[in-house]
Structure 1
């Protein structure tokens, strides 16, 4: 009996007219364990085979063809953002092996059609050509010297579909290759090593077609009935992003919520609501440390409630930081950033296979940062980060990834400026109101695994685990109350050590099936999480400071054991979540998203409390024509409350409800995407002061946010990229018993907009030279929830010039080009975070 794979090889061989020699068959059987699954391939009993990765209806633009030498031979790559949607039809004709790619067209970046040709690349192969067969089809032809080449087909999870074309000539007869092509030349190979022809789908550029945050499956953005925006790798590079807040200013409805200097955390508000947690690779990242952007592949922002998949999150949305993963081919990148305020930041990114079979892959990212903070403190930023990742393809069905991160940082601790009257105090933006040696330090380690196993063609099991331990310390002279007559600001010494541990376990089962003509992608999952926090607040009175004439260091800073422990927090929170989601394709242009989750929360602190919640989501997408998606959705969220009732019990969980409608469009051959959304979110059970006992709270508060958002991203013309946004947000308190009803939520502008665009020359002697321009507008907003002071609007202008050629990249970015004074974030009267002044930042990187 021959197995399934032998049948595939025998059928392919028969269709190509090669015949099967016993020795060849034995060789195939010997090596078959190294060939990945090709369950997608259907082999009807005809003279041709149709290999369909997913159906397409539009013309896919193949914008580049690359020929790269490998240790096996030559790798030919067809680059397109729609690689996963290509169809392949292969057949033999005489001495030729022919692959037709329907619904696709070759197109250089300049817009011109072209033909790729490689003459005599290896022994036994006369020529390889890639050309436009007609207006709708690309043809790849491999010509043998005396007969059609022997061909094996297998797929790669990282590169796409691979055609292995074996040489039929002895090693001694290997000719030197000659070429006539428009792309960089290949190197010759020897022996009977095969050629690999790889069809890939690259996601370079500003337009990313798919995301996983909204569904925990790779789903086209156009099929998701909720607004989700992606800041891709190219934007991070073009803007020279060091902190996530710099990247997220490109997304509508997202504002930095807490001063970055004072917290050393990435905390943002989305659609008016401050987020209690971010996501990292789909895991809840409760610690919310400043994420290392050098290790990011992209940032995905899901707007609106995400509790159906992630449990305990606020209703505004969720930000998912997606990290870099191992690559199948060797990749090495070294760079250094340097700029204003003493910034020096070398980076290294290394990846590739660890064995010839490429079943063991690695990636290593390492970063060191010194300086870069503009405020007048004695402490400089010192940050060390390293992240090794190992991927092991155990067999054709099973894949295991092991991850580790280490972070060690020390940075200035800074409460920022201070409110004065109905505005912000008129003092220099670099003036410190803490002590100049105030600082924050953190050491954090994270370890985890991701295991994926295909139980069958349509059933996949995923198990993921992550453990994080963090020790941090806040040392500051924190601001108290301000005497506006004298300018004296009271302060308190604070020395706060924090020990944090977080355990996360996710188990998912993904199944695909049909009920008649209706297709389903069913996701069932169980999440477990435990978080422990041990915090000791060492606090005592400190000397006051005059905000107009500050004098620092009037008394020595006390050591931690010289300060009394005012109070301590020792809590443990356990989460259990069970969820079910069904992505239903009713017809090609009508899709439903249905889901529900049950969560059980156990909080252990001064008192124990259990809470449970059911959070549903229902959405529909209708596509009247292929480029347009109309959608509507309803979803809920929940967030455990930490406030305490007069009887000592914790408040019931906050609940959120959102209604959203919108339209998504794809234009310019799917290179430019647009999302227009309208929504209303209501958040209830918000803690407000108990009128009968002001030391406690009651859950009568309600907040509401409604607005309209517009996001645009992609390529307008070859070399001309854009990412832009606009948000109109009305977020206010709708119920309260403490006098705040009708107040606007803090730090939420009615209007905000952004535009970042770059243009890179595509031809000529200056090819690779480019320019960028950014405009970021934020309207005026309330500085705190009491609405007793306002923060002015601002327009910040950025610019860049860069040069990319071959392996070298040079860039020079000018941030806040006109040196505008502006407030980036405000939360209370004593935490008003000023934005950075005019800053110059340069980078040099080398990739090979």
Structure 2
């Protein structure tokens, strides 16, 4: 069978499955009118996503001592709870249940032993976006094993709070934001003098002492674009406003609303990040962060994985986190301009199944499945399986690409304190390269005319590449106590690239004929990464510390070979394909091994509730071995580097943070081999900024930075055959980003970046030249609105504008890419378990150039593209 047909077959089968299942279940899904009110945040796999008001800040019309009793919901109407939200408070933890409509719910206490149990009849839990039909928070407090909210049966929700040794203290409140379960820490509960918390009699409300019914009103809605916590900046689940460095998260909801299928499409939502020197249609996700290349500066679940920049973004990705600026203090070499962390979807405790199919112009077909649930009755062993297949053509001649992904994950909750997760994936992209067209005849005038934007400079049958990666690893976590935990992570990435391509080289003097060459290229890159660290919460007097200490050991083995041949030229204005000659000669063949051992220590210090300091440092020993198999030569380099980070955060009020930081990084890759000095490239950044939670669902960051790269290779003025490391480049800029919900149903993610990236020292290039593919001004804005009530409830609209200013196409600054604005739009409809959407990219069919690899490879952007998508969750 032709492998190109597989995605289309997958698409057809998925579509039939979708419509068949919809027909079978259409009568089973209750229809409801929705009256939503804004509330705070969701917990996904015990990770807090947004803070809500504390119990002390809520004006409670009734307390647990005098519960509000109302008429229960009619037994014939099932009320759907569409969200469960939780956050720590000064008394413990708040949990809010949210429904799709205002409703009166009856709550019956079933507490027994160490379990506070509340049953809510005439209700059903239906969490959106892959959260299946359960909520679970592990170890939210020292004395609480877990909090779960799940469906007891078809029309009853059960809320369970499990204590370690005693019945938990739970307070119930009726508030405008919803039904509030206040789980009170034993440390704050009333106790006899000098008596430990564990010996304190349970302080439970009347509702927790009998089967007395309690009826409360519940309202609310789900989270969307705002994610206030991220792990990438500190290796701890720290609110972004407490981290003295710019971090932005693109959550799952944004990825879904935009139907982004490539990493570069996701990152257009992050100011300061732009497409690098390759086509966005190629598998390589070339990006620049703050003016500098970040192709290999990628992480997978917080672990360095260079191959993610080549292939790996797919339907198994939950969200994308971007840490801007040097990051060697946590991740070792690299990260001069920032790190991009891909967070994968994790197993769920209750069965969850999703089928998605999409189709678009240029014969684009994609299908994906997402399956999850328990593998045993006790739900201690869970699985998740993501798989997808896609095929697409393009406006470019002879272009056809296929993409495949399969990603299984298994988690084992060995005990209430120990968890092991095994994760694997295989990604494969097959198809041609997009070489663009020369600047002369596209941006610059050509006496022969204008080169068609769809012109292929290759050959129909000599432009093929297979780009794949197999990844496997484990994540072992053990919590010794509430304040001490250890983590061990191991990840292997086996990357391979095979390409047989005919590529353009340079224009001849007639400005219509281009020279070309053929190459057969092979590259294998195997990376092994082991990271072990502990997290400890301590106190010295009134000063609180959160320590992270660990070591990292990694190795990358690379084998690369290439044979090359000049071949026939091509007339750009009257091309004749198929007349190709070959005379291959070996170009290069080498092996290399790079090893890294790093030790790191970080301390997040809370000097006061509104004054926090971050101190961190890492010491690395890196060596690189190189063998030239053609010339029978070898080389060895070793370097040591210390990478510090210092930051301070001051919060005059809790929602507002002023911060300043200093950080450094290193990278041996640029100076590992050849005649240069064995000193690594260094990056140094100073940053100040302000972060603000404008509301409890809308946050913004404003950052100013000065980033310098030093020890860059340049020619020795005394001997041009030699290289010395005195080159220097600098980037200064301003970045602003905002994301979250403005009003109920109205979401936004946007930003602005001013980037001035120039050469400041070099013996070959003019000082002051702008770096390539870096616009001084860039603006991104995407907003959606979803109707919240009435007969059109669930109907949503999206609109976005992405502006990029003039950029240099070459480092000599001889050609400039013109500025452009691209407009995207979307319309979608969500109802119960299904979602249908139409996404339009480049709505006004604007002609633009997205990037440049060199003066003979200027990459045009995609024209008007339309994609329709149907998703069903069950």
Same fold (TM over 0.5): yes
The verdict on how the C-alpha distance between 1:466 and 1:220 changes in structure 2, with shifts beyond 3 A counting, is same
Partner Cα separation in structure 1 for residue 118 and residue 652 of structure 2: 48
TM-superposed CA distance for 1:76, in Å, is 9.5
1:351 to 344, 355, 372: 372
Match of 1:775 in 2: 801
Report whether the alignment pairs 1:542 with 2:563.
Answer: no
TM-superposed CA distance for 1:451, in Å, is 0.2
SS in structure 1 of the partner of residue 362 of structure 2: helix
Match of 1:217 in 2: 236
Report whether the alignment pairs 1:440 with 2:465.
Answer: yes
Report whether the alignment pairs 1:661 with 2:688.
Answer: yes
Match of 2:269 in 1: 250
CA contact (8 A) 1:821 1:837 kept: yes
TM-superposed CA distance for 1:514, in Å, is 0.4
Match of 2:300 in 1: 280
2:425 to 374, 380, 405: 405
Match of 1:458 in 2: 483
Match of 2:841 in 1: 815
Task: Report the number of matched residues.
Answer: 716
Aligned pairs (5 A) from 1:397-796: 397-420=417-440, 423=443, 426-437=450-461, 438-555=463-580, 563-605=584-626, 606-643=634-671, 648=675, 651-668=678-695, 670-796=696-822
Match of 2:397 in 1: 376
Report whether the alignment pairs 1:240 with 2:264.
Answer: no
Match of 2:202 in 1: none
Partner Cα separation in structure 2 for residue 398 and residue 370 of structure 1: 41
TM-superposed CA distance for 1:154, in Å, is 3.8
CA contact (8 A) 2:147 2:161 kept: no
TM-superposed CA distance for 1:316, in Å, is 1.2
SS in structure 2 of the partner of residue 222 of structure 1: helix
Where in structure 1 are there 5+ consecutive unaligned residues?
A: 1-38, 40-51, 62-73, 90-100, 132-151, 167-181, 184-191
1:85 to 77, 84, 88: 88
Aligned pairs (5 A) from 1:42-441: 79=83, 83-85=86-88, 114-118=102-106, 128=120, 154-156=145-147, 163-164=159-160, 204-260=223-279, 263-275=282-294, 276-287=296-307, 288-377=309-398, 379-420=399-440, 423=443, 426-437=450-461, 438-441=463-466
Match of 1:149 in 2: none
CA contact (8 A) 1:527 1:578 kept: yes
Partner Cα separation in structure 2 for residue 60 and residue 233 of structure 1: 33
CA contact (8 A) 1:297 1:322 kept: yes
TM-superposed CA distance for 1:130, in Å, is 13
CA contact (8 A) 2:470 2:495 kept: yes
The verdict on how the C-alpha distance between 1:734 and 1:481 changes in structure 2, with shifts beyond 3 A counting, is same
Where in structure 2 are there 5+ consecutive unaligned residues?
A: 1-45, 61-77, 124-142, 151-156, 163-177, 180-210, 627-633
TM-score by length of 2: 0.77
The verdict on how the C-alpha distance between 1:333 and 1:126 changes in structure 2, with shifts beyond 3 A counting, is closer
TM-superposed CA distance for 1:267, in Å, is 2.1
Report whether the alignment pairs 1:845 with 2:833.
Answer: no
Partner Cα separation in structure 1 for residue 821 and residue 420 of structure 2: 47
Partner Cα separation in structure 2 for residue 84 and residue 643 of structure 1: 47
The verdict on how the C-alpha distance between 1:505 and 1:702 changes in structure 2, with shifts beyond 3 A counting, is same
The verdict on how the C-alpha distance between 1:240 and 1:105 changes in structure 2, with shifts beyond 3 A counting, is closer
TM-superposed CA distance for 1:779, in Å, is 0.3
Partner Cα separation in structure 2 for residue 756 and residue 749 of structure 1: 20
The verdict on how the C-alpha distance between 1:359 and 1:613 changes in structure 2, with shifts beyond 3 A counting, is same
Partner Cα separation in structure 1 for residue 603 and residue 748 of structure 2: 34
Partner Cα separation in structure 2 for residue 718 and residue 707 of structure 1: 34
CA contact (8 A) 1:712 1:724 kept: yes
Partner Cα separation in structure 2 for residue 662 and residue 763 of structure 1: 39
SS in structure 1 of the partner of residue 254 of structure 2: helix
TM-superposed CA distance for 1:246, in Å, is 0.7
Match of 2:68 in 1: none
Partner Cα separation in structure 1 for residue 460 and residue 856 of structure 2: 17
CA contact (8 A) 1:421 1:789 kept: no
CA contact (8 A) 1:644 1:696 kept: no
**Two-structure CA RMSD over aligned residues (Å):** 3.4
CA contact (8 A) 1:277 1:313 kept: yes
CA contact (8 A) 2:838 2:869 kept: yes
TM-score by length of 1: 0.79
TM-superposed CA distance for 1:773, in Å, is 0.3
TM-superposed CA distance for 1:565, in Å, is 1.3
CA displacement 1:589-634 (0-9 Å, x = unmatched) = 1111100001111100030000111010000011101211100000
The verdict on how the C-alpha distance between 1:158 and 1:303 changes in structure 2, with shifts beyond 3 A counting, is farther
SS in structure 1 of the partner of residue 315 of structure 2: helix
CA contact (8 A) 1:328 1:352 kept: yes
TM-superposed CA distance for 1:350, in Å, is 0.7
The verdict on how the C-alpha distance between 1:372 and 1:75 changes in structure 2, with shifts beyond 3 A counting, is farther
TM-superposed CA distance for 1:486, in Å, is 3.5
CA displacement 1:490-538 (0-9 Å, x = unmatched) = 1111110111111010001111110011111100011111001111111
CA contact (8 A) 1:641 1:650 kept: no
TM-superposed CA distance for 1:412, in Å, is 1.4
